[in-house]
Chain A
Amino acid sequence: MNPYESHPARILEVKDLTPREKLFTLRFLDEKLNEEFTFRPGQFVIVDVPGFGEFPISLCSSPTRSPIQLCIRKAGRMTKFIHGMKEGSVVGIRGPYGNGFPMEDMEGSNLILVAGGLGMAPLRSVLWYALDTGRYEHVWLFYGTKAYEDILFRDEVLHLLKHGSAMNCTVKLAYEIESPSCIYLEQGFSDRVCRGVVTDLFRGENFDIENSYALICGPPIMYRFVIRELLNRKLSPGRIYMTLERRMRCGVGKCGHCVVGTSVSMKYICQDGPVFTYWDALSTRGLI
């Protein structure tokens, strides 16, 4: 087995989610692999565009459903290239990599998902998984976006905003830039939609903290504020999970790019993570 070798997969569908992000639905050419491929929410794959390069992307679909989906933001050279690819084209996929969220350990508890921007992608996998399996007490999704146009998976999010309570799911949205669509939403769901940042969504919410886990994904700056909010509510650092990003080349602990920490504890984001607890962050310098 060559861990650097990717498996050809066909792009079944390309969907525009926002002006910057597209959703790619993929199926391996090898049928056996389609059957065997499984993963846990929070894991990622390395996408290979032969001749152009590779880049890591979180799986944004859930292992409870197939085929697999990736939400890719046009951020640079290679992601721009794949944005130009059409349905029917073939790319390479290797993985899944990383540890993912410990979904089994959290069964029977409340899940507080906190997403900022593109952080919604890996958390969508958790959300679907939780709703599909029904193994969790209650699921909150706090989602902070810049503007209405930036809401990823907008149809799904708005559907859950309206009908989530039937599935023990509460969705809350914070936006920064005012627009008619946002004002309209805010009028309809004044208790769950507001102008502001994601931490504003915590206001008025009472969690059974002893029986809750928080799962956070967003831009580096967001972690500090969200974690402060959770610690104020006395959530244990061991129950706060976050998924982190670093430059990655190999995905399997060899290339050294994703290494963080100091002499006492060094961690590979690609293998020891990308999911870490806040306790890991307290004991490993440079993690967040």
Chain B
Amino acid sequence: MRYVKLPSGNFEDFFNSLRGIGQIYGPVKEGKTHHFRRVEEAGEMDLKYTRTMLPPKKFFVRPRERLFSLEDGWWRKEGDENPFVLFGVHSCDVHALKILDRVYLSEPVDPYYAERRKSAFIVGISCLPDELCFCKSLGTHFAMDGFDLFLHELPDGWLVRIGSVRGHEVVWENARLFDEVSDEDIANFKAFEERRAEAFKRELRSEGLADTLDLAYNSPVWKEYAEKCLACGNCNLVCPTCRCYEVCDRWVDAYRAVRERRYDSCFMESHGLVAGGHNFRPTRLDRFRHRYYCKSYFDPSAGFNCVGCGRCDEFCPAGIEHVKVLDEIRGSLE
């Protein structure tokens, strides 16, 4: 990794220099929650945020997007890729994008997703956990790759880790804004990271979790929670790794149709329904359990399908807490 320092006084110039890449999106506070929004000035952003409602996945897998439009009887591909900057992405969300990459960039590559990934310049930013974060238990509290630049807060600026050639180029082109990293900066960086690691209040016991859950298939705990759950699908929408989509053709007028895809949720009854009315996950219990099984799927090469961002807890209207459910399931076996 290459490291440089961005002194506080140069932050705004650095932000402005990124405009050369394209439109900048960053965390903006609206009411009680944060959202990634188009920003023109560095000051519009609130960089001391914990989590946004919708994760950065919305830039890559859009809530609704056009795949094709029907012209002269056949499909024409849609797509409008302009380079853009995602400013202030937390480490868990960087990890979540890597999970999406494994799906969308594996053969056959999803061209819509791939083009947007190529168009995005990602600037990560360090954060402090709140009571809902459990990324540390999943090893997603620190990102080693998956970003172009990553900013770590220092008392008088930022320690910048450079994660890609493009990141390097941006630093190079703006060399006057950056300093060499001093011993003092390193000590501060280390102290910050240690303090941060200690700040986590919530912990997920991940050892043997996958097998434990599989063995607890018939646990009564699933049923208890399935009864509380409203099946609203919020947890799917806000999850940075949820990515199910539905496709539909829609006529825009009498002559033109479009094929669109939009977020789908495994809590919807239609998710497992096939022709003839057979449903492979007919009850709310089946669907509730499925989501936990999907999120706790353990890929030996990449880990779990959850990055511990705490969004599903914060935005669940029934107050269902992810780690608590898993702990109780585990407890029901012991």
Contact = CB atoms under 8 A, between A and B. Distances in A.
Contacts of A256: 243-245, 264, 266
Interface in A74-131: 75-76, 79, 90, 92
Contact of A263 (B109, B210, B259, B264): B210
Contacts of B213: 262-264
B110 A254 contact: yes
Interface in B94-115: 103-104, 106, 108-111
Contact of B70 (A5, A50, A253): A50
A3 B296 CA distance: 28
Contact of A246 (B104, B245, B272, B290): B272
Contact of A6 (B75, B109, B211, B245): B75
A225 interface: no
A247 B294 contact: no
A263 B297 CA distance: 4
A2 interface: yes
A5 B111 CA distance: 11
B274 A247 contact: yes
Contact of B294 (A8, A245, A259): A259
Contact of A76 (B251, B275, B296, B298): B275
A255 B270 CA distance: 14
B276 interface: yes
Interface in A26-83: 50-54, 73, 75-76, 79
- Provide the main secondary structure of the chain B interface: mixed
Interface string A273-288: 0000000000001100
Given A255-B245, A263-B209, A51 B297 contact: no
A50 B246 contact: no
Interface residues of B, number: 49
Interface string A247-275: 10110111111011111101000000000
Given A79-B275, A252-B108, A52 B293 contact: no
Nearest to A220: B278
Contacts of A252: 108
Interface in A210-253: 220, 245-247, 249-250, 252-253
B116 interface: no
B9 interface: no
A286 B280 contact: yes
A53 B108 contact: no
A1 B108 contact: yes
A6 B74 CA distance: 10
B297 A246 contact: no
A202 interface: no
B275 A257 contact: no
A4 B276 CA distance: 25
Given A52-B249, A53-B249, A256-B245, A5 B75 contact: yes
Contacts of A2: 77, 111
A17 B231 CA distance: 42
Contact of A8 (B74, B243, B251, B264): B74
Contact of B106 (A6, A90, A253): A253
B8 to A, nearest CB: 43
A250 B112 CA distance: 14
Interface string B258-293: 010100101000111111101010000000001011
B275 A75 contact: yes
B298 A264 contact: yes
Nearest to A219: B278
Contacts of A249: 245-247, 261
B229 interface: no
A75 B218 CA distance: 34
B108 A262 contact: no
Contact of B247 (A54, A259, A266): A54
Nearest to A75: B275
The interface centre, meaning the residue of A4, A252, A253 with most chain B CB atoms within 10 A of its CB, is A4
Contacts of A247: 270-274, 280
B172 interface: no
Interface string A1-22: 1111110100000000000000
A267 B280 CA distance: 14
B175 interface: no
Contact of B73 (A50, A73, A75, A264): A50
Contacts of B70: 50-51
Nearest to B258: A51
B10 to A, nearest CB: 41
A262 B293 contact: yes
9 contacts: A1-B108, A8-B74, A50-B259, A247-B280, A252-B108, A256-B266, A261-B293, A263-B211, A264-B297
